[in-house]
Structure formats: structure tokens, C-alpha cells
Amino acid sequence: MWVEENNALCKEFTFANFQQAFGFMSQVAIAAEVMNHHPWWSNVWNTVHFRLNTHDAGDIVTEKDHALAAKIDEIYNSYK
């Protein structure tokens, strides 16, 4: 579940290993580029953390963030 905190949508995703996490990140990168909305994220081994907000709107959560969050969830669900 995405949580809104400090003007950002936040969520953590866990995978079986680094290779899966990196594959997920690659798919998200392509989707983010198509949407022209790029996340702040970090990766340590099998875990990927996201913070989404819209810089052009003053670093607040907008519909662009919710749309990207839904796409990220869709990509993640393909790994289950």
C-alpha cells in the first residue's frame, strides 16, 4: 500500500533476489520515461524503495504520482 508522507507517495517492494529487483527497476524506468515522470528510488539487494512527488508542482503529490504508482504496482504484480 502506498503511504503519503512528507509530500510524497512512499512504498517498498521486496523481491527474491537482486536480479529480480533490478529487472523490476528496468521495467519501471521504461514506464517512467514513457510517462515523463521519474521517481526517486533506491535499491539495496532485493529491496526497492520509492518516493513519488511532482517537482514541477512544488514537490507535492499529484495525479501524475498516483498514475505512476499504479503502473509500478502493475509491474510488481507481474513478478508474483
pLDDT at 46: 97
Confidence of residue 75 (pLDDT cuts 50, 70, 90): very high
Beta bridge partners of 9: 4, 52
Indicate the pLDDT class of residue 63, thresholds 50, 70 and 90.
Answer: very high
Q: Which amino acid is at 52?
A: L
Domain span at 10: 3-77
Position 58 pLDDT exceeds 90: no
CATH code, 60:
3.30.1360.20
Query: What's the pTM?
Result: 0.94
Q: Quote the CA–CA distance of 72 and 18 in Å, as a whole number.
A: 17
- Over residues 3-42, the pLDDT tens digits come to 999 999 999 999 999 999 999 999 999 999 999 999 999 9
Number of structural domains the chain divides into: 1
Cα(30)–Cα(2) distance, integer angstroms: 21
